[in-house]
């Protein structure tokens, strides 16, 4: 695997791939890689000739400096994993390579920016779109791959691509779960064994809602789900929503594309998860 830390070196390499007419698949990450990330690389390999993975812990998407500080950084292990799955290129720039210290970014992301995650993490999606825009412009991928776990992030990035007319196809990849059902996340590193047990209420509740979606009344399901999660010790619910899968507005109709999304603090760690309830087709 080739590793680049500067835009110039990466672009020089990619120009050669372009000249060879290779299609580029891009998997942007913040590192602390797990099986979920590797599944993105593996899917990318089915679509593209050359795979670029980026590892960059993006300061502009953290609204809490303590959260940025404690975000796991495991670069040696990450490189090892990427080599195991035959990733072609790793882009691992320092902050100064991406930001020149004099940045202004604001995109009109509409209501998507302020709902659910947006409400709990003000400014987060401006930071995400800012860095993904920069990374897309550096890598110029044909296709970029993102996990379904960050469902709202996928919608926001799709909106940015549409607004700015960017020539990249986006692919959403299924959530990877541990055998107990916990959605894989870089943040799981911070869970104690007890936290992990408590955290299972999130996937269990999502599954329960999925199993009961056809027969259930949406507002009753949502209330039951909130009660189930709130009853779990050391789990502080931020939101549980059954939402329109395109707009993330609360769903009022089981025939549309529908997703259930949850965010909660488990001990000191904030987790998110979701499940598709209906594809609206």
Dist CA 63 CA 114 (whole Å)? 14
- Which one, 18 or 127, has the nearer CB to ligand PAF? 127
Q: Is 37 known to be catalytic? A: yes
CB of 135 to ligand PAF, least distance (A): 7
- Give me 11's structure tokens: 């672009």
Distance of alpha carbon 79 from alpha carbon 212, whole angstroms: 42
Shortest distance, position 132 Cβ to ligand PAF, whole Å: 5
**For residue 35, what are its two tokens?**
């099986």
* Closest to 244 in 3D by CA, of 107, 157, 116: 116
- For the CB of residue 194, give the shortest distance to ligand PAF in the complex, in Å: 27
Is 249:102 a contact under the CB 8 Å cutoff? Answer: no
Please give the residue ranges that form the binding site for ligand PAF (CB under 6 A).
28-30, 58, 61, 128, 131-132, 150, 153
> If you compute the radius of gyration of the chain from its CA atoms, what whole number of angstroms results?
19
Task: Tell me the CA distances in angstroms from 210 to 107, 173, 225, one per residue in order.
Answer: 34, 19, 11
Find the shortest distance in angstroms from Cβ 231 to ligand PAF: 30
In the bound state with ligand PAF, the residue whose beta carbon lies nearer, of 55 and 266, is 55
- Tokens representing 89 are 């290129």
29 vs 269, which CB is nearer to ligand PAF? 29
Of the residues 13, 34, 37, 104, only one is catalytic, namely 37
The structure tokens listed for 268 are 């000191």
Q: Which of 239, 236, 226, 230 is nearest to 268 (CA)?
A: 236
Residue with Cβ nearer ligand PAF (103 or 253): 103
Shortest distance, position 127 Cβ to ligand PAF, whole Å: 8
Choose between 53 and 85: whose C-beta lies nearer to ligand PAF. Answer: 53
Q: Which two tokens stand for residue 149?
A: 């776990």
Active-site residue list: 37
């Amino acid at each position: 695997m080739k590793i680049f830390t500067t835009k110039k070196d990466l672009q020089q390499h990619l120009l050669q791939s372009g000249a060879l007419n290779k299609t580029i698949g891009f998997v942007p990450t913040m590192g602390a890689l797990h099986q979920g990330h590797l599944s993105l690389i593996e899917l990318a390999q089915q679509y593209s000739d050359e795979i670029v993975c980026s590892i960059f812990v993006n300061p502009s998407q953290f609204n809490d400096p303590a959260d940025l500080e404690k975000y796991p950084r495991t670069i040696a292990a990450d490189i090892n994993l990427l080599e195991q799955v035959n990733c072609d290129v790793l882009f691992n720039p320092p902050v100064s390579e991406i930001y020149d210290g004099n940045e202004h970014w604001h995109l009109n992301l509409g209501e998507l920016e302020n709902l659910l995650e947006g409400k709990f993490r003000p400014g987060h999606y401006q930071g995400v779109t800012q860095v993904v825009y920069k990374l897309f412009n550096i890598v110029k991928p044909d296709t970029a791959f993102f996990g379904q776990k960050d469902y709202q992030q996928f919608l926001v990035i799709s909106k940015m691509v549409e607004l700015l007319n960017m020539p990249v196809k986006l692919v959403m990849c299924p959530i990877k779960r541990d055998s107990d059902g916990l959605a894989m996340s870089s943040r799981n590193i911070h869970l104690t064994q007890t936290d992990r047990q408590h955290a299972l209420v999130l996937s269990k509740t999502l599954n329960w809602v999925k199993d009961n979606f056809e027969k259930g009344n949406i507002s009753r399901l949502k209330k039951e789900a909130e009660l189930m999660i709130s009853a779990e010790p050391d789990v502080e619910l931020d939101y549980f929503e059954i939402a329109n899968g395109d707009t993330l507005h609360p769903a009022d109709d089981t025939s549309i594309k529908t997703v259930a999304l949850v965010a909660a603090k488990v001990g000191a760690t904030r987790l998110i998860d979701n499940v598709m309830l209906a594809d609206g087709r």
